[in-house]
Chain A
Amino acid sequence: MTAVADPSNRWGYHPGSTPLHRLSPRTKLVALLLFAVIVVATPREWIPFYAAYAVFAVIVLAVARVRAGDVLRRLTIEIPFLIFALLLPIVATGPRVDVLGFSLSVSGLWGAWAILAKATLTLAMSIALVATTEPGRVVLAFGQIGLPRALTSIMTFMVRYLDLIVAESHRMRIARESRGFDAHGVRSWGILARAVASSFGRAHARGERVHLAMVSRGYDGGS
C-alpha cells in the first residue's frame, strides 16, 4: 500500500485535458487504424506524401502535449528493425549504386526507407492514442469496434493483472528490504527467482479473489 507509482503511467497514459484527451477513445482507435493502413498502402516512392504524414503526426502529438522525450524513449522499440533495415541495402540483391564507396542495393535502400518511415509514422500516432486515453478505456474501445468479447475480456484481465503484479512486486521488495535483504550474490538470485515465481502465484490468487468479488456483484463477462 506504499505503492506510489501511478499505475496508468506504465501504459504511457498522461492525464490531461487537451482536445485529444476529450475525443472518444473509439474515434481515436479507428483513426489510428485507418492512418496505419493508409501509410502502409502508400507506395514508398511517394515521398511528399510521407512528408505530409509526418507533419500531421507532429501536429497531433503537439496538440496532445506529448513530450518529445517520451516519443524518443518509445522509438527505441524500433532498434532491432533499425539494424535489420540497415543490413538490407547490403544483403539485398538487384542493381547496386555506390554510396560513399560502398556498393549498396537500390531496392535494399528503398526497403530500408520504407520500413523506417512506415513504422515510425504509425508508432508516433499510436503514442498519441495511448498518451491521451486511459488504458481501461482503450480496452473498452476495442470492444466497441467489434473485437470479440472473449478477447476483450482477456485484455481487461491482463491490463488489471499487470498493475497488480507491479504493485505486488513493489510490496514484496519493501517486505524483503525491511528484513535486511541485500540484492547481490548467488543466494540472492535464488531468493529473487522464488519471489518472482510466488509473486505470480499471489497475483493469480488475488486476481481469482477479485474476479469472484466482481462475479459476486453481478459481473458476467469473461466466462
Chain B
Amino acid sequence: MHVPDGFLNLPTSVVTGVLAAGAIGVALPVARRESLGERKAPMVGMVATLIFATQMLNFPVGLGTSGHLIGGALAAVLVGPATGLLCISVVLIVQAVFFADGGLTALGTNILLMGVITVVVGWGLFRLVIAVLPARKWSVPVATGVGGLISVPVAAAAFSVLFAIGGQAPVPFEALFLAMTGWHVLIGIGEAVISALIVAAVMATRPDLVYGARFRRTRRPESEPASVAEEASA
C-alpha cells in the first residue's frame, strides 16, 4: 500500500502531510511518557527493525499476488501506541529515502494510512479485546491479532477515500472501495497471524518488554519481572 510520488494530487498530499505531522507532534511527548528508562531505546529500535524486515517479506494472498505486514497493531502492543507510531513513521521514511518504497511527497499520506490509522485502530481494538480476555499468556497475542486483522482493511478503505478525493484519474468509488477493502481483509489475516506470532514469541522470552502486557486483566504489572518495575519507579 506504499503510495508513490505523484499518485495523489498535491493538495491531498499537503493535507495528509499536515495531518501526519500533527499526529507525530502529539505522539512525541506521549512517547516520552511511554518509554521511561534508557533500556527502552534498543527495544524501540528493534521494533522498528522488525517491522522494516517483515514489511520486506511478502506472503501470498492468492491469485498470484501477495501482501506484506504493515505492523501498526504490532508496534503499538510492543512499545505503546505513540512510540509505535514513531517507529512506523521512521520505517516509512527510511523506505522512502533508501528504497524508494513509497514516495517522498507521499510520506504524509503513507504515515497517515499505515501509521496513524493502523495504530489507532489496532491499539483501540487491542485494548477492547484485552479488557475482556482472561489474564493468560495467549491473550496478548490474540488481542494483537484482532487489532491487526481489522486495522488493515480500515486503512485500505481510507486509501480508497483519498484516491477518490485526490487521485490522478476518476475511478468508480464503490468498485475501488470494495476491491481494496475486500482484498485487504485477506491481507489482514496474514497481518493478524504474523503479529500474533511475533508478540507470542516476545512474550515467551521477554514479557517485560511488551508494553501491551500491562493491560492484561487481573495480573498486575508488579508481577512483571524486575526491569519494568525498575523503569516504572524511575
Seen from chain A, the residues whose Cβ lies within 8 Å of a Cβ on chain B are: 11-12, 29, 32-33, 36-37, 39-41, 44, 74, 77-78, 81, 88, 91-94, 105, 107-108, 110-112, 114-115, 117-119, 121-123, 126-127, 129-130, 135, 138, 142, 147-148, 150-151, 153-162, 165, 197, 200-201, 203-204, 207-208, 210-211, 215, 221-223
Contact of A108 among B86, B93, B169, B175 (CB under 8 A): B169
Number of residues from B at the complex interface, CB < 8 A: 52
Residues of A within 8 A of B100 (CB): 74, 77-78, 122-123, 126-127
Stretch at the interface among B3-11, B125-133, B181-189, B217-225: B3-11
Is A110's CB under 8 angstroms from B169's CB? Answer: yes
Given known A-B contacts A36-B104, A88-B169, A200 and B45 have beta carbons under 8 A apart: no
Q: A interface, by DSSP: helix, strand, loop or mixed?
A: helix
Q: What sequence of 0s and 1s flags, for each residue 8-44 of chain B, a beta carbon within 8 Å of any chain A beta carbon? A: 0010010000000000100010011001011111111
Seen from chain B, the residues whose Cβ lies within 8 Å of a Cβ on chain A are: 4-7, 10, 13, 24, 28, 31-32, 35, 37-46, 48-50, 52-53, 86-87, 89-91, 93-94, 96-101, 103-105, 167-172, 175, 201, 205-206
Q: Can you identify 16 A-B contacts, CB atoms within 8 angstroms?
A: A40-B6, A77-B99, A115-B168, A118-B5, A118-B6, A119-B103, A127-B100, A153-B41, A154-B86, A154-B90, A157-B42, A200-B201, A203-B49, A208-B43, A215-B38, A222-B41
The chain B residue sitting closest to A142, CB to CB, is B93
Residues of A within 8 A of B50 (CB): 200
Residues of A within 8 A of B32 (CB): 150
Shortest B219–chain A CB gap in Å is 23
